Amino acid sequence: MYNLQGIMHAGINNSLVQFEKFGQIANNLSNFQTTGYKDIQFEQIMKEDGYLTGSVRTNYTQGSIRITSNPYDVAIDGVGYIPVVSPEGDVQYTRDGAFKQGKNGYLTTADGWIVGEGIKIPSNCYKFVIKENGDVYSYDTRGPKSTKIGTIPLVRFDNPAGMEQAEMNRVKPTEDAGEARLVKNHDCFKQNNLEASNVSIYNSATDLLRLNASMLASMQMIKLADSMYNKAINIREA
């Protein structure tokens, strides 16, 4: 059985857990329009002692594919990630295919990470085509003949849920995720398209309303216990 101090301690703990969930929902809503962003879900669990705890997991379902008409944009239609390399040589992975022509003509992410092993677009390139299997072909102004200039790789992990979130909409593997496996003979890439986030603004708004009611109830319980505790002290001192 709880005493008044125990009730207050449990209420404070539960409120902190609810504030953490509130932060996750707010983060999801702020990334509603972020390309390829995956919904982060915070699941609350009530333990036998009445204390709340929570676990964070990522919803890896695919977002909708939308047309952009930008030849640098690439959507992944299916499971997997594109490996990208930092200027320092670090390798991470992304589903955000909003690429650009970066330094020295290489295909890069928005913040300058090189795509794959490096795909350099020639200076005389009239247009380039990214095939569904990731092969990239360049065309010049002299005619219909094309030249293969590289391949955008697609990799998969045995346990994507084990991936760790990194900066700029990237992820990095952990031991739980397993080794990256290169996927061959696929048709997952769509040029001139981007994958939207899989955040449901309606579900997030509903979660916020429910969470608000729960947080108000927790705060009222803390206030009630505090009031009773103060009255008990006054009675003892009387």
The structure tokens 């953490």 sit at 20
Judge if 88 and 152 occupy the same domain: yes
Judge if 230 and 145 occupy the same domain: no
2, pLDDT greater than 60: no
Judge if 123 and 204 occupy the same domain: no
115, pLDDT greater than 50: yes
Judge if 105 and 123 occupy the same domain: yes
Domain count, the chain: 2
- pLDDT single digits (tens) 4-62: 566 666 667 777 777 788 888 888 898 899 999 999 887 777 777 767 777 778 888 99
Name residue 203's amino acid.
Answer: N
The structure tokens 């429910």 sit at 210
Helix axes 4-30, 201-237, angle to 10 degrees: 160
Looking at per-residue pLDDT, the higher value among 220 and 178 belongs to 178
Distant-in-sequence, close-in-space partners of 183: CB < 8 Å, separation ≥ 6? 80, 154, 155, 156
Judge if 147 and 211 occupy the same domain: no
Distance of alpha carbon 37 from alpha carbon 94, whole angstroms: 9
pTM assigned to the model: 0.80
Judge if 88 and 184 occupy the same domain: yes
Average pLDDT score over the chain:
86
Judge if 186 and 231 occupy the same domain: no
Judge if 79 and 153 occupy the same domain: yes
Percent of the chain's residues with pLDDT above 90: 45
Distance of alpha carbon 238 from alpha carbon 234, whole angstroms: 6
Judge if 119 and 213 occupy the same domain: no
Judge if 207 and 133 occupy the same domain: no
Distance of alpha carbon 77 from alpha carbon 89, whole angstroms: 27
* Structural domain containing residue 75: 65-195
What is the pLDDT confidence band of residue 196, given thresholds at 50, 70 and 90?
A: very high
Distance of alpha carbon 186 from alpha carbon 203, whole angstroms: 33
- pLDDT single digits (tens) 206-237: 888 887 777 777 777 667 666 766 666 666 55
